[in-house]
Amino acid sequence: MKPFLRWLGLCALAVVALQVFFVARIASMAVLAPQSTTFERSEAWRIATEKSALRWRQQWVNYDQISDHLKRAVIASEDDGFSNHDGVDWDALEKAWAKNAKAEQRASGRKPSPNATQGPAVLRPPKVVGGSTITQQLAKNLFLSGERTLLRKGQEFVLTFALEACLSKQRILEIYLNHVEWGEGVFGAEAAAHHYFRKPAARLTAFEAARLAVMLPRPKYFEKLPNSAYLSGRAGVIVGRMGDAQLP
């Protein structure tokens, strides 16, 4: 029994030490900009191994060098309650859980559709709805993998509350906009603005900013479809919402 309790104590100590490390890293971000995120490093490795070359665009710019249009567009598109919530939008999370449960229920009642190329009938998995806030997305990108488990989600919540406790909303948004993915090897607002519009992030127009914001859930997909009708139509909707977006 004693060896088991000793092992259990060491595991608990390791978990606590890891949380202390995370909190220390987050606290340092109040004054030091993170050079990279876990997601960026994993993407850099994937691109380098798959393509034998690393195509990479990223440049940190300060908060006041990013167009307010882009800040408003991202908030309107990704997290309209960003300036007011505690890091988690509980209403949006509850709605996302409900939608996912309904999607899984519908999927379980469907019959597999035949696939001519693969032979046996296949059943496509239901589309998963997120509900994550900007702070949650940042927590995941900074430190965590992309796997979908309850343990990882629990760690994401801990990191989210640590970000909200240690950093201002403005700083959280600044870090997010400098590290979020906008295409294959394209990270951050400055890189995205140059990649898609050949201009700095400070000079983005409202519609350009809205297009970038709409790309965020699927940046690699929309990078290949720059003339997508959905992209243009959805950007128009986001432009209409930007006036109500509250900046931190």
Q: What integer pLDDT is reported at residue 123 of this predicted model? A: 45
pLDDT at 128: 45
The pLDDT of residue 163: 97
Q: To which CATH superfamily is domain 36-86+168-248 assigned?
A: Biosynthetic peptidoglycan transglycosylase-like (1.10.3810.10)
Q: What is the pLDDT of residue 226?
A: 86
User: Which pLDDT score, from 0 to 100, does residue 130 have?
Assistant: 54
pTM of the model: 0.85
> How many Cβ atoms from other residues are within 10 Å of residue 90's Cβ?
10
- At residue 4, the pLDDT reads 72
Give the pLDDT confidence score for residue 129 in this predicted structure. 45
The mean pLDDT values, 10 residues at a time, for the chain of 248 residues are: 78 90 95 94 90 85 97 96 90 70 64 51 45 92 85 92 97 98 96 97 98 96 92 96 95
